[in-house]
Structure 1
C-alpha cells in the first residue's frame, strides 16, 4: 500500500486533549438521539487517554500560553520536536532542558539557557509545586484546628 497524500504534523498533548474533549462532548450530545455506538476499544482508548492527559501539565495550559511560548522561543535555534517537548514536559530546571535539547551545551551558553528557562517559566507557569505546599499547609492547619476543637469540647464535658 502506498500513501499518496501524506500529512505530517507534530501535535502537543494540549492539542490532543482538546480534540478528545471536543469529541467526547460531541459524542455525548448525539448519543441520546442516535443509536450510533463506538466500538468498545475506541471508547476505552478515548477514556484512558483523557484520564491520562487530564493528570498531566497540559490540562492547565491554554492556546494563548503555547503561542506565547512559541513566540518567545522563536529567536533560538530549536527544532519543532524540541519546542514540542518543552510544551509537553514544561521543564522547571536547566537540567531538564539539557535532557530535551540535543547538544544543548554546545548550542547554547549559560546565559541563553537561563533566558530560555525564563521564557518557559513566564509563558507556561507551573502551579504543581505550589499546590503541594498549599495542601500540606492546609492539612497541618486543619489538624491543629481539629485538635484545638477537641480540647474545647473536652473542657465542656
Structure 2
C-alpha cells in the first residue's frame, strides 16, 4: 500500500468533536446497552476523546465562527497548519500565538500579531468556563495571583 497524499485533509478539533458526538449518538440509538456494537477499546477511545475535546475551546465554537476566522486570517502569511492550530487552541495572548506561529518575530510585526490576537478574540469569543481559570491575567495572558 502506498500513501498518495499524506495530508489530504486537515480537520479541526471542532469537526472531530462533531463526528464523535454523532457517532456516539448513533451508537446509543442503534443497539440496546446489553449488546455492544464496538469493541471495548473503541468505546474507551471515543469516551476519552469526547471528554478531552469537551474541555477544549472547540466545545464552544461554531462552524460560522471557524469559517469567519479562516477568511480573516486567509490573507496573512500563515500556513494551513498554523491556522488550524489557532482554531484548535484559540490563543488569547501574544505569548500563546508565538508558540503556534513559527518564526513569528521574523514574519510579523508586534502590531500585526496584536491584530491577529484581536481578530481571534472577536471571532472566537470565549465561553464563561474558559475565562474562569482561578486567577486574574495580565496583558500577556499570564495568571497573576
| TM score, norm. by length of structure 1 | 0.76
Provide the C-alpha distance between the structure 1 equivalents of 2:113 and 2:3, rounded to a whole number of angstroms: 41
Query: Per the alignment, do residues 81 and 3 of structure 1 end up closer, same or farther by CA in structure 2, a change over 3 Å counting?
Result: closer
Provide the C-alpha distance between the structure 1 equivalents of 2:90 and 2:37, rounded to a whole number of angstroms: 37
Report the Cα offset of residue 2 of structure 1: 2.8
Aligned counterpart, 2:140 = none
Report the Cα offset of residue 41 of structure 1: 0.5
Larger radius of gyration: 1
The residue correspondences of 1:18-33 to structure 2 (distance < 5 A) are: 18-32=18-32
Provide the C-alpha distance between the structure 2 equivalents of 1:67 and 1:76, rounded to a whole number of angstroms: 15
The structure in which a higher percent of residues are helix is 1
Provide the C-alpha distance between the structure 1 equivalents of 2:107 and 2:7, rounded to a whole number of angstroms: 30
Which runs of no fewer than 5 residues in structure 1 stay unpaired?
134-157
Report the Cα offset of residue 6 of structure 1: 6.1
Aligned counterpart, 1:70 = 70
- What SS is found at the alignment partner of 2:65? helix
The residue correspondences of 1:114-129 to structure 2 (distance < 5 A) are: 114-127=114-127, 128-129=130-131
| TM score, norm. by length of structure 2 | 0.82
Q: Superposition RMSD on alpha carbons, in Å?
A: 2.1
Report the Cα offset of residue 3 of structure 1: 3.8
Aligned counterpart, 2:43 = 43
Aligned counterpart, 1:102 = 102
Query: Per the alignment, do residues 114 and 4 of structure 1 end up closer, same or farther by CA in structure 2, a change over 3 Å counting?
Result: closer
- What SS is found at the alignment partner of 1:88? helix
Which runs of no fewer than 5 residues in structure 2 stay unpaired?
135-145
Residues 1:91 and 2:91 are matched in the alignment: yes
